[in-house]
Amino acid sequence: MLCPLIKTPDMKLFATYVLAALLAVPVVSSFAAEGTAPTQVTKPDLVVGEAKYAAVCAACHGADGNAGSPAYPKLSQQHPEYLVKQLHEFKTGVRKNAIMQGFAGQLSDDDMKNIAFWVASKKIKPGFAKEKDLVVLGERIYRGGVSDRQIAACAGCHNPTGAGNPAQYPRLGGQHADYTAAQLTSFRDGVRNNSLPMTQVAAKLNDREIRALADYIAGLR
């Protein structure tokens, strides 16, 4: 029975509202059920990141990301997206390193993001090439590759200045030569296998070429 207070001319409008409401229900339910609702992206907290970095990372990588020991990489000014990816891969074992897996295992996703963006905001201290007889070879490979062995130029991905490419390729310029050489060797020997392009390139390099590249990269800025 219709409510006597609703006049006939308004019934069509009322029915339209009811129909619209009924039709909207399954749309909203489906939207929620499929989990397609937009999620809020939280911004990195640099204050929290600094504190967490000091507690977990600073002992090896330096107070501002400029590791004093050439055995450890400089993290300052590195692309934060790259750092987060590496931390995730250490944590899950995709990138093998017992020490780093232990530290990364303590970190949440937010911790990783906060740390990465904080240390990325610190300026890297420039490095220097030390072996002059190798610099020319290193520069030639870095900038032009080795065509007869299908070795691609490093600059194509990592930038002529070593600045890298955010979210894709890491910054190399100024990195400790010992660390860079160790990573290239690990890629070549199959110890590190979390980057197929790097494995393919490093597989074609000999020890002298690796040393030359690492030394040249240390002086890039």
| CATH code of the domain containing 148 | 1.10.760.10
The label of the residue with tokens 């409510």 reads 3
- The pLDDT tens digits of the residues spanning 103-126 come to 999 999 999 999 999 999 999 999
The whole-number pLDDT of residue 53 equals 98
pLDDT value, residue 30: 33
Pair 160, 110 in one domain: no
> How many Å is the Cα radius of gyration of the chain?
27
For residues 89 and 69, state if they share a domain: yes
* Rounded average pLDDT over 23-51: 61
- Residue 42 is predicted with a pLDDT of 86
Claim to verify: residue 116 and residue 191 sit in the same structural domain: no
- Does one domain contain both 55 and 102? yes
Across 186-214, average pLDDT: 97
Q: Rounded CA gap, 37 and 15, in Å?
A: 29
Lowest-confidence pick of 32-36, 37-41, 104-108, 145-149? 32-36
Cα separations in angstroms, 188 against 129, 158, 197, 209:
22, 18, 11, 12
Residues 193 and 116 in one domain: no
Q: Which domain does 55 fall in, by range?
A: 46-120
Alpha-carbon distance of 50 to 58, in angstroms, equals 10
1: confidence class by pLDDT, cuts 50, 70, 90:
very low
Alpha carbon 53 to chain centroid distance? 16
Our count of domains for the chain comes to 2
In a domain, 127, yes or no: no
Q: Does residue 3 fall inside a structural domain?
A: no
Phi-psi category of 24—alpha, beta or left, where left has phi over 0 and alpha has psi -120 to 50?
alpha
| Burial readout 42-51 (b: 16 or more C-beta within 10 A, e: otherwise) | eebbbeebbe
Q: Are 93 and 142 in the same domain?
A: no
**Beta carbons within 8 Å of 6's beta carbon, 6+ residues apart:** 14
Same domain, 106 and 139: no
Q: Which amino acid is at 185?
A: T
Residue 159 is predicted with a pLDDT of 97
Residue-level pLDDT at 60 = 98
Identify the residue with better confidence: 47 or 166: 47
pLDDT at 39: 55
Determine if the pTM surpasses 0.75: yes
Of 119 and 9, the structure prediction assigns the larger pLDDT to 119
**Spatial CA neighbour of 141 closest among 99, 107, 172:** 172
pLDDT in tens, 144-184: 999 999 999 999 999 999 999 987 899 999 999 999 999 99
State the amino acid at position 90 in one-letter form: F
Q: What share of residues in the chain are helix, strand, coil (percent, to 5)? A: 55, 0, 40
Grade residue 2 by pLDDT with cuts at 50, 70 and 90: very low
202 occurs within a structural domain: yes
Would you say residue 31 lies in a domain?
no
- Whether 182 and 193 have beta carbons less than 8 Å apart is answered as no
Q: Please report, in angstroms and rounded to a whole number, the separation of the first and last CA atoms in the chain.
A: 82
147: which DSSP letter?
A: G
State mean pLDDT over 48-56: 98
Q: What's the confidence (pLDDT) of residue 172?
A: 98
- pLDDT value of position 196: 96
Give me the pLDDT at residue 75, please: 98
